[in-house]
Amino acid sequence: MNAVGRVAGNSADRHAAGFTLVEVLIVFTLLVVLTAALAPMLMPSPTRALRESSSEIATTLRETRRQARVNQARQRFLIDTESKHFGIEGSRKWRDVPEDMNIMLTTGKSLLTGTSSGGIDFFPDGTSTGGRVTLSMDDQTLRVDIEWLTGRVRVNKDEP
């Protein structure tokens, strides 16, 4: 090989051997920006926990109403405020809320099934016995309201 061939080969090897300082700094900056943007979403927060739990309860209530209409039979949503779990009567699929969250059920006296448990009934025509599930955590409160006449389920922020 001649001398010119060796110099050209060494020059090409030098350029392909690694990253420049500018490239490394750009990648590092992008990682810092992404970490700063995503960290709050990954950190647990009372607001997020309340929203997720109230959404799960509202979804289960809506499913209870749907089953009552489809099966043309009364269906009962049950909740135990002490053990902090809820579900549809007769279903194996029960859900829990976080241990540090407080739950309160407002329902008819005849629908209480124990000192810390009770239910809300939905009927084939879509109506319900009505009621409210109140969730609170760290001075924040959300209510899941169930209208008796329509069976409509809504999540509301509790206003002081």
Domain shared by 37 and 79, yes or no: no
Q: Residue 148 and residue 151: Cα distance in Å, rounded?
A: 5
**DSSP string computed for the chain:** --HHHHHHHHHHHHHHSS--HHHHHHHHHHHHHHHHHHHHHHS--HHHHHHHHHHHHHHHHHHHHHHHHHHTS-EEEEEETTTTEEEETT-S-EEE--TT-EEEEE--GGGB-SSSEEEEEE-TTS-B--EEEEEEETTEEEEEEE-TTT--EEEEEPP-
- 70 contacts: CB under 8 Å, gap ≥ 6: none
Asked whether residue 25 falls in the same domain as residue 77, the answer is: no
User: pTM of the entire structure?
Assistant: 0.74
Number of residues that make up the chain: 160
CATH of residue 138's domain is 3.55.40.10
The verdict on 74 and 118 lying in the same domain is yes
Range of the domain at 70: 46-157
The answer on 63 and 11 residing in a single domain is no
**Which pLDDT belongs to residue 68?**
97
Burial class (CB in 10 A: 0-12, 13-18, 19+), 152: middle
111 and 50, same structural domain? yes
64 and 106 in a single domain? The answer is yes
Cβ neighbours of 57 (radius 10 Å): 22
In the predicted structure, residue 63 carries a pLDDT above the cut 90:
yes
Q: What is the mean pLDDT of residues 78-90?
A: 96
Q: Do both 19 and 76 map to the same domain?
A: no
77 and 99 in a single domain? The answer is yes
Q: What's the confidence (pLDDT) of residue 45?
A: 76
Structural domains of the chain, count: 2
Q: End of a domain among 11, 27, 42?
A: 42
The reply to whether 27 and 71 lie within a common domain is no
Q: Residue range 82-90: average pLDDT? A: 95
Share of the chain above pLDDT 70, in %: 88
Please determine, for residue 6, whether its predicted confidence score (pLDDT) is greater than 80: no
pLDDT digits (tens, 9 = 90+) for 8-18: 555 555 556 78
Question: pLDDT by residue (tens digit) across 103-159?
Answer: 999 999 999 999 999 999 999 999 999 999 999 998 899 999 999 999 999 999 876
What's residue 35's pLDDT? 86
In this prediction, residue 151 carries a pLDDT of 95
| pLDDT in the model for residue 94 | 92
87 and 33 co-located in one domain: no
User: Do 33 and 51 belong to one domain?
Assistant: no
**Does 52 share its domain with 73?**
yes
Supply the pLDDT for residue 46.
Answer: 78
Is residue 43 over pLDDT 60? yes
Distance separating alpha carbons of residues 147 and 122, to the nearest angstrom = 10
